[in-house]
Structure 1
Amino acid sequence: MNGNFQDIVAIKELLKKYPKGLSITEISSALHLHRNTSAKYLDMLKLKGDIDRKEIGAAKNYSLVRRMPVSTLLHFCLHPAIVLDGRSEVVMVNAEALSLLACPLDVIYGAGVKDIPLSLFKDPEVGTRCHDAVQGVRSRAEVQTVVGGKRLRLTVHYLPVVFDTGRDGCALVLVDETACRQAAEERDLCRKRYLALIADQTEFVAHIRPDMT
């Protein structure tokens, strides 16, 4: 078992040196591993989301990437999340996302991300970022949108993910920062009003804490 772990670590360390990736033949030759052994470890790493596999002609090219397994994401993520497959079609949505977007599952499920009937998804940048995430590029964007007459301020995280089948996809994690942003703006407004109040003040100003000290 220890030998297996060392071989897996060796494969990852080797791929770090070759950002463009290596074929299974090159990996086996460099690490003096049997081709079948290398294939087994590479499949394990692919399912874990540690590497990407792309076909170049008849050969398969392997490179390092950081993908989150979909099952792990949905189990631990507390924020609204929408999972897309490699064609940018919705295949999973958690209850938090349905609640935030005030949209039933049958409207979202199976739709292409650009076809979701909500203003948030009409920006062409959303489709571009989803495509990039499927390719392994993580990003995030701060957006404002209106849902059910309420203005929301969201941070959208575009995450590369991997399904249990080994196929690539992406997840949109929607972090609602509306209340936090509003509180920060109200705090800044109060600070500006306070500074304006004392700017021309000639009297002493006493600051009293809630405990009256």
Structure 2
Amino acid sequence: MHPKQDIPERILRTLNHRPRGLTITEITKVLGVNRNLVSKHLEVMQAAGQVESRLVGNAKVYSLARRVPLSTFLCFTKNLILTLDADLAIVEVSNQCLAWFGRSREDVVGQNLREAALPVVSDPEVLAAIEDLEQEQVIAEIPCRQDGGRESFYNMQAIPTTFGDGAKGCTIVLEDITERKRYLSNTMFLTRTAIDLVDLQPVEDICDYTVSRLLELVPGT
């Protein structure tokens, strides 16, 4: 192998033995190669997610990227997660997502999100947020009305993602916040009701008022 082509591998081996990281100057001294060449390789490796950097004083210190395999992460999270490539094709999906979709992994992986007709994530609002995604993650609250008419709410994070080969993509994380929103709504309702009860005139029927407010809280009862 040509020495210049071997530099990325040598950088990785060097950083593997220096968990606290090294500056470009220190890496250059260890490898005995040109500083500019090391700098260019580090830029490419950082873009590919192989190394990460942090500032220590005025110096940039490089270390191996600390990454958890995506497949392992997906097994333990309760959130609904999809990973997409730059063309919005589904690369990976969590088991929780598959159960929620009612689909098998074979039916979902490889499908384009625009054409997959999946609940919530194929919504035009979600697609627009993903397509406009650049360097910063996007956070949005997404409502979803199910077949029975019940409305659910999800907190969506669209996160720019770099794959191991340097290709760009996006990770979608959906957190079901329906119960949280209902709790907050009910708490606000009860607070308003308590204030109204204090302001009731003595001649008003508190029982009728309480029943009407409960019917408002639990319609159809």
Find the counterpart in structure 1 of residue 69 from structure 2.
Answer: 71
- Number of equivalences: 164
CA distance in structure 2 between the partners assigned to 1:69 and 1:124 by the alignment: 32
Counterpart selection for 2:35 from 8, 33, 36: 33
Q: Residue by residue, what CA displacement relative to the aligned partner does 1:161-207 show, whole Å, maximum 9, x if unpaired?
A: 111122111011001000111111111111111111111366xxxxx
Structure 1 unaligned blocks of 5 or more: 9-31, 52-67, 203-213
Aligned partners of 2:88 and 2:112 also within 8 Å: yes
CA distance in structure 2 between the partners assigned to 1:126 and 1:184 by the alignment: 25
Equivalent runs, 1:112-191 vs 2, <5 Å: 112-133=112-133, 135-147=134-146, 149=148, 150-191=150-191
TM-score normalised over the length of structure 2: 0.61
Find the counterpart in structure 1 of residue 99 from structure 2.
Answer: 99
Aligned partners of 2:101 and 2:119 also within 8 Å: no
Aligned partners of 2:91 and 2:110 also within 8 Å: yes
Describe the shift of the 1:182–1:45 C-alpha distance in structure 2 as closer, same or farther (beyond 3 A): same
SS at 2:151's partner residue?
Answer: strand
Aligned partners of 1:49 and 1:161 also within 8 Å: no
SS at 2:130's partner residue?
Answer: helix
Describe the shift of the 1:4–1:50 C-alpha distance in structure 2 as closer, same or farther (beyond 3 A): closer
Equivalent runs, 1:34-49 vs 2, <5 Å: 34-35=36-37, 37-48=38-49
TM-score normalised over the length of structure 1: 0.63
SS at 1:84's partner residue?
Answer: strand
Counterpart selection for 1:7 from 24, 41, 44: 24
Describe the shift of the 1:108–1:147 C-alpha distance in structure 2 as closer, same or farther (beyond 3 A): farther
Find the counterpart in structure 1 of residue 195 from structure 2.
Answer: 195
Structure of greater relative contact order (alpha carbons < 8 Å, 6+ residues apart): 1
Describe the shift of the 1:141–1:112 C-alpha distance in structure 2 as closer, same or farther (beyond 3 A): same
CA distance in structure 1 between the partners assigned to 2:114 and 2:21 by the alignment: 43
Amino acid at match of 2:181: R
Describe the shift of the 1:70–1:47 C-alpha distance in structure 2 as closer, same or farther (beyond 3 A): farther
Aligned partners of 2:138 and 2:157 also within 8 Å: yes
CA distance in structure 2 between the partners assigned to 1:105 and 1:148 by the alignment: 23
CA distance in structure 2 between the partners assigned to 1:155 and 1:116 by the alignment: 21
SS at 1:103's partner residue?
Answer: coil
Higher CA-based Rg:
2
Amino acid at match of 1:34: N
SS at 1:137's partner residue?
Answer: coil
CA distance in structure 2 between the partners assigned to 1:80 and 1:74 by the alignment: 14
Q: Residue by residue, what CA displacement relative to the aligned partner does 1:101-134 show, whole Å, maximum 9, x if unpaired?
A: 333333322111111223424433322322233x
CA distance in structure 2 between the partners assigned to 1:168 and 1:69 by the alignment: 16
Structure 2 unaligned blocks of 5 or more: 1-14, 26-33, 53-65, 203-221
